[in-house]
Amino acid sequence: MAASQDWGPGGDSRSEVGVVRRRPWMGAAELVLQLWRAKWLMLVIFLPIFVLGLVAAMQMPTKYEAQSRLYVRLGEESVYRPKVGTEGAGATPEQEQLIQAEIEILRSPVVAERALARFPLSRVFPDLVEAMEKQIAEAPDSRREAIAEQTFQKGVAALRKSFEAGSAPKTPVIGTALSHEDAQLSAELLNAMIGAYLDYRSEVFAVGGSDSLRDQRKKFEGELLNVESEIRAFLRRNQIGDFESERQTAQQLYATISGELLTNKSRASAVEGQLDINNQQLATMEPQQDLYVEDNSAQRLSELRMEREELLSRYTEDSRAVQAIDTRIDQLRDYLNSRDGLSGTTRRGPNPVYQQIEQAAANLEAEAQSLALQRAELERQLNSIEARLQRLNELQPEWQELQRRKALMEANVQNFSAREIEERALAEISNQSADSVRVLEPARVPIQGSSLKLPIAALAFLFAGFTALMAGLLRALTRDGFATARSLERTIGVPVVGAVGRV
C-alpha cells in the first residue's frame, strides 16, 4: 500500500496512503473522554475499597495523650571521679549525653514493669486479660503462672510502645507522653512511670550500690565463718594446736635430733676405736710390776765394822771375838762382791700405767654404753618426729586449701567493706544532689483525645481513588476504537472529511 514508511511515536509504522497500527493515537481530550466512558468501572472499584476503609477507620479507638516534662541538670552522680591513689582526671558528660542517658533510663523495661505493677492489669489492658483467661481455662495448672507472666510482659511491651520521651537539642528538659483510651488512666500511668523512673534512678545512682555491696560483704563474711569452722574442725580432728608452728617445730626437732644422732654415731665410733686401742694395750701389759728389792747387806757390813771397832777398844786383833767379826766381815764383803746388783726380797705392786689404761678403757666402755642408750633414744625420738612430720606433710595440702579459702574470703570481705564505705560516701553525695531531676509538669488528665479515624478515612479515599483511576487508565489505554475524529486524523495522518455514527 505504501511506497515508503516512517515511525511515529510509540513505534507505530505509518505510510502516505494507509496506516497499519495496533492502538489508536490518543491525546489528552481523548484520554479524558475514555476515562469518562469508564466511569462506572472506576466507581465499582472505588466504592468497595472506600467503604472498607471507612469501616476500618470507624473501628479505630480514640486515645488520650497525657504529657509531662522533666528538668535535668548535672548532678554529682553523673560526674566521674577517679579513686584515691589512681591516676587520671575526672570526667563530666556533656548536656546531650546526660539527657540521652536519662531518656534511656526512662525507657528501661524495669521502669515500665514497676509502673504497670501498680495497677490491675485488667484495668489497663482488658483485652490482654480476657485472652489470658481463655488460655488459662484451656491450659494445665503447670502453665498458668507462665501464661500470666507472658501476659504481663505483653502489657509491659504495650505500655512501653505507648510511652514516648524526647527532648529538643541543647535543652535540659525532657518531654514525656503516654497514650491510652482512658483519659484518667493515661495521666495516672504517666505519673506512675515518672515515679518509677525517679525511684529506679535513685536506686541506680545512690542506694542500690551500697546495699548490693553490703549483701555481698555479708555473704563473704558468712563463708569466712564457715571456713574458720572447718579450720577448727580440721585442727581438732588431727589434734593440732597450730599447724604451721607444729610443722616448723617438727622440722626443727627433726634437724636437731638428726644432727645429735650423727654426733652420737661419730662419738660412738671414736669411743669404740679408742676402746679397741686400750684393750690392745692392756693385752700387752702386766697388771703387776716390781716395785723395789729389800737388800741390807751393805748396812750389815757397816754394822759389823762398827762392832769390830768397838771390840778393838776392849780386845786385841788376835782375840777370838775380833777374828770372828773379821771372818764375818770377809764373808759379807765376798758376798757383796760376788753379785751383779741388788739382791734380797723383791716387793711387787699394781702397774699404774695398766691401771690408768684400764680406767680409761672402763670409762670408754661406760661412755659407749651411754652412747648406745642415747642413740636408741634419739632413734626413737627421730622416728616419732618423722612420723609426725610425715603426717603433717600429708595434711599440708588440705591445710593450704583451707588457708587459701580463708585468705580469699578475708580479701573479699576487706574489698567489699572498702567499696561499701566508698559507695556510702557517694550515696551521701548523690542524696544531697537528688534534685538533679525535677518534675516541671506532672501529668494531667487530657481533655481532648486523638484518633486515627480521619487519617485512615483519608488514606482509604486516596487509595480507592488511585486504584479506580489506574483501572480507568488501563481500560482507556487498552481500547482499540477511536474516541474522536481528531484521534483518527493523528492516527492515520490524513484529515477526516466526515463521521458516521455507530449503527
pLDDT tens for each residue of 320-349: 887 888 888 888 787 777 765 545 555 666
Q: How far apart, in whole angstroms, are the C-alpha atoms of residue 144 and residue 125?
A: 18
Q: How far apart, in whole angstroms, are the C-alpha atoms of residue 344 and residue 4?
A: 194
Q: How far apart, in whole angstroms, are the C-alpha atoms of residue 491 and residue 20?
A: 9
Q: How far apart, in whole angstroms, are the C-alpha atoms of residue 473 and residue 131?
A: 47
Q: pLDDT digits over 264-283, tens only?
A: 888 888 888 888 888 887 77
Which of 273-282, 348-357, 380-389, 480-489 shows the lowest per-residue confidence on average (mean pLDDT)? Answer: 480-489
What's the grid cell of residue 305?
765394822
Environment class of residue 221 by beta-carbon count within 10 Å: exposed (0-12), middle (13-18) or buried (19+)?
middle
In degrees rounded to 5, what are phi and psi of residue 231? -65, -45
Which DSSP state fits 481? S
Longest dimension (CA), the chain: 239
Band (492; pLDDT cuts 50, 70, 90): low
- Hey, how many other C-beta atoms are within 10 angstroms of the C-beta on 230? 15
pLDDT at 262 over 60: yes
**Structure confidence at residue 431 (pLDDT):** 55
Environment class of residue 214 by beta-carbon count within 10 Å: exposed (0-12), middle (13-18) or buried (19+)?
middle
Please work out, in degrees rounded to the nearest 5, the angle formed at the alpha carbon of residue 340 by the alpha carbons of 335 and 345: 70
Q: Locate cell 580463708: which residue?
A: 406
Q: Locate cell 510509540: which residue?
A: 10
Q: Please report the sign of the dihedral spanned by the C-alpha atoms of residue 182, residue 188, residue 194, residue 198.
A: negative
The upper half-sphere exposure of residue 396, i.e. CA atoms within 13 Å in the direction of its Cβ, equals 12
Interval 154-171 mean pLDDT: 87
What's the grid cell of residue 61?
479507638
Share of the chain above pLDDT 70, in %: 74
Interval 454-482 mean pLDDT: 79
**Structure confidence at residue 15 (pLDDT):** 38
Distance of CA 405 to the CA centre of its chain: 14
H or E segment to which residue 72 belongs: strand 62-72
Interval 55-65 mean pLDDT: 75
Select the more confidently predicted residue: 90 or 120. 120
Paired with 294 in beta bridges are 345
Q: Which of 111-115, 133-137, 406-410, 498-502 has the highest mean pLDDT?
A: 111-115
Paired with 293 in beta bridges are 346
**Structure confidence at residue 455 (pLDDT):** 79
The upper half-sphere exposure of residue 451, i.e. CA atoms within 13 Å in the direction of its Cβ, equals 15
Band (14; pLDDT cuts 50, 70, 90): very low
Q: pLDDT digits over 414-435, tens only?
A: 887 777 777 676 666 555 545 6
Interval 481-496 mean pLDDT: 57
Q: pTM for this one?
A: 0.44
Q: pLDDT digits over 221-261, tens only?
A: 888 888 888 888 888 888 888 888 888 888 888 888 888 88
Q: pLDDT digits over 205-223, tens only?
A: 754 456 666 777 788 788 8
Q: pLDDT digits over 344-370, tens only?
A: 555 666 777 777 877 888 888 888 888
Q: Using an 8 Å Cβ cutoff, are 128 and 151 in contact? A: yes
Which of 78-82, 163-167, 318-322 shows the lowest per-residue confidence on average (mean pLDDT)? Answer: 78-82
Q: How far apart, in whole angstroms, are the C-alpha atoms of residue 297 and residue 36?
A: 196
Q: How far apart, in whole angstroms, are the C-alpha atoms of residue 3 and residue 16?
A: 8
pLDDT at 9 over 50: no
pLDDT at 436 over 80: no
